[in-house]
Amino acid sequence: MAVQKVLLGGQWVAADSSGTFTAENPRTGEALADSYPVSSWSDCDKALHAAREAFDHLRTMPRDQIAQFLEKYAELIEQRKDSICALAAEETALPVSPRLADVELPRTTNQLRQAAAACRNGSWALPTIDTKANIRSCLAAIGPVVVFGPNNFPLAFNGVSGGDFAAAVAAGCPVIAKSNSLHPGTTRLLAEAAHDAACATNMPAGTIQLLYRLDHADGERLVADRRIGATGYTGSRSAGLKLKAAADAAGKPIYLELSSVNPVVILPGALRERGAALADEFASSCLMGTGQFCTNPGLIVLVAGQATEDFVAAVGEKFAAAPVGTLLSRGGARSLAEAIEVLKTAGAAVVAGGEGGGGTGASYQNTWMRINGDEFLQRPHLLQTEAFGNASLCVVAGDIAEVKRILDQLEGNLTGCIYSHTQGEDDADYAAIEPHLRQHVGRLLNDKMPTGVAVSPAMNHGGPFPSTGHPGFTAVGIPASLRRFAMLQCYDNVRPSRLPELLLDDNPLGATRFVDGQARS
């Protein structure tokens, strides 16, 4: 069994490793063929050194060259689509079609191309010029960025091809990617394409680097190292909080996406008006991708009454009738079972499912639970435990006043949805509860489930802690996502020949800039 090489300083080299690991097929539980190294600190140190050298070159390289790299990379991913999707399906149990080949891969290449356009144009950096005082400023690359990718999007959020990667590179930062341990093969294929694209476009050697796994202590040391600029992390809350503590203590920005139960409120008028259709819509959103989406609706709040009882029963029937999907891993099935136990112990009653298994390989029954609002309010923290997968909890409030009290107890979430009567019968209730939801969520939706995250400049895939580490930033949506990997750089009385292109008087990049208080293109 071959041990795969890591990508360091522009070369695929044997890792300095303290051990190896293999991925497994979640459908069969069998180990896949290749073996991957757990890198020692020595590999991290080499990566940091090479990233720093690459950064020195990237800072002064034409933006167009970075954009060309991103576009070439997108092209190579498309050329290698079949092998990438086939291996991703083996490692994650996600279907090649439509999910990987028709949705996630095009999303990935689309993100890379949007990032290239943002990089070329420069408007993302909010260039600002005070001509009288001759003071100029813009956001600029913060330095090498470490990206830890999550388990649930092997392409579109992969550390070496996903949203954080695209944003960091487009901002001008080298990336040290840490593969998710569940899909190292997919990550290797992507990194090969990235490396080939980097060679074809003459990028500095350490621009794209890949490590497969690190000891926890080395991960914490990495995100706090003097040589890095920032970190992007999407994954479990427990691991993320340890990285956050290490990065915070060193004063290094870390952008985390940790966990979110994505509350949905259906107001009484909407339930009266279209309860059966909403039960369909809700159940489909809950079970899509076996519930393994960051924006999966894990918590729904309803007001007690017959329409609610009908809704709960209808969703229960749909959950029971729907096929049980294969989860991303046995570990994921274990975590889901543990979270459901926490919810049950805190008082949630199982309406459907509630037991392990039910599908092929790593699986857990589609699980639908309920609890009354007054009970929820006794243990609001435990009852917001994220059950990552095909499980959701319904909270039945006594009245709208109790809905408000429930919303007041919410932790920070990526999304929050309110469904209301189309002809205005819920408008007073909407106005009463909206302020109690708005500050707890990054994206507020009306009459729409949260599971679609459009790559739109207006998207916010972010939210208050603990859904992310800082509520001012988004991980999806270009150009805003680039701003995470930047520092504000001001030039005061600096001679024109020494200014970055973006701040020159004649605006050679054609960026939108704020000149003497006015936006100008």
Tell me, yes or no, if 257 is annotated catalytic: yes
CA distance 35 to 57: 34
Please state, in angstroms and rounded to a whole number, the distance separating the CA atoms of residues 36 and 57. 30
Interaction of residue 381 with a second copy, rule CB under 8 A: no
Q: Does 342 bind a second copy (CB under 8 A)?
A: no
> Which residue's structure tokens are 């939801």?
437
- Distance between CA atoms of 279 and 382, rounded to whole angstroms? 25
338 is catalytic: no
Q: Does residue 36 contact residue 213 with C-beta atoms inside 8 Å?
A: yes
Q: Interface with a second copy includes 501 (CB under 8 A)?
A: no
Cβ distance to a second copy smaller for residue 31 or 249: 249
In whole angstroms, how close is the CB of 111 to a second copy at the nearest point? 15
3-class secondary-structure state, position 228: coil
Least distance to a second copy from the beta carbon of 436, Å?
9
- Residues 403 to 432 in contact with a second copy, rule: CB under 8 A: 412, 415, 430
Q: What distance, in Å, lies between the first and last C-alpha atoms of the chain? A: 57
Catalytic residue, chosen from 24, 257, 386, 411, is 257
Residues paired with residue 425 on neighbouring β-strands, in sequence order: none
Q: Which is nearer to a second copy, 495 or 506 (CB)?
A: 495
Q: Does 442 bind a second copy (CB under 8 A)?
A: yes
* CA 297/CA 390 separation, integer angstroms: 10
12 binds a second copy (CB under 8 A): no
Under rule CB under 8 A, residue 360 binds a second copy: no
Does the protein bind a second copy through residue 486 (CB under 8 A)? yes
How do 17-21 and 36-39 pair as beta strands? antiparallel
Q: What is the amino acid identity at position 228? A: I
Spot the catalytic one: 44, 119, 294, 417: 294
User: Would you count residue 469 as binding a second copy (CB under 8 A)?
Assistant: yes
Q: H/E/C letters for each residue in 12-33? A: EECCCEEEEECCECCCCCCECC
Number of residues that bind a second copy (CB under 8 A): 74
Could you give the residue ranges of the DSSP H alpha helices within 236-323? 237-249, 268-287, 306-321
Contact 96, 85 (CB under 8 A): yes
H or E element that contains 344? helix 330-345
Shortest gap between Cβ of 251 and a second copy (angstroms)?
Answer: 2
CB of residue 21 to a second copy, shortest distance in Å:
31
Given a contact cutoff of 8 angstroms between Cβ atoms, the answer to whether 50 and 228 are in contact is no
Part of the chain binding a second copy (CB under 8 A), chosen from 13-21, 76-84, 368-376, 454-462: 454-462
- The one among 10, 26, 37, 143 contacting a second copy by CB under 8 A: 143
Q: Mask 213-252, x = binds a second copy (CB under 8 A)?
A: -------------------------------xx--xxxxx
Q: Which of 7, 101, 129, 315 binds a second copy (CB under 8 A)?
A: 129
Give the one residue of 98, 381, 506, 517 binding a second copy; rule: CB under 8 A. 517
d(CA 302, CA 316): 15
Q: What is the spatial distance between Cα 422 and Cα 195, in angstroms, rounded to a whole number?
A: 52
Site for a second copy contains 46 (CB under 8 A): no
Binding residue (CB under 8 A) for a second copy from 142, 190, 266, 312:
142
473 lines the binding site for a second copy (CB under 8 A)? yes
* Residue 69 binds a second copy, judged by CB under 8 A: no
H helices, E strands: number in the chain: 14, 22
Q: Give the CA-trace dihedral at 250, 254, 260, 262, to 10 degrees.
A: 130
Name the residue nearer to a second copy (CB basis): 216 or 438: 438
Q: How far is the CB of 149 from a second copy (least distance, A)?
A: 22
Q: Which stretch binds a second copy (CB under 8 A): 175-183, 324-332, 350-358, 482-490?
A: 482-490
Q: Which of 19, 59, 399, 401 binds a second copy (CB under 8 A)?
A: 59
Q: Kindly report the number of other CB atoms within 10 A of residue 518's CB atom.
A: 7
Burial class (CB in 10 A: 0-12, 13-18, 19+), 342: middle
- By CB under 8 A, what part of segment 160-189 binds a second copy? none
Looking at 492, 505, 508, 510, which residue binds a second copy (CB under 8 A)? 492
Q: Which residues are catalytic?
A: 257, 294
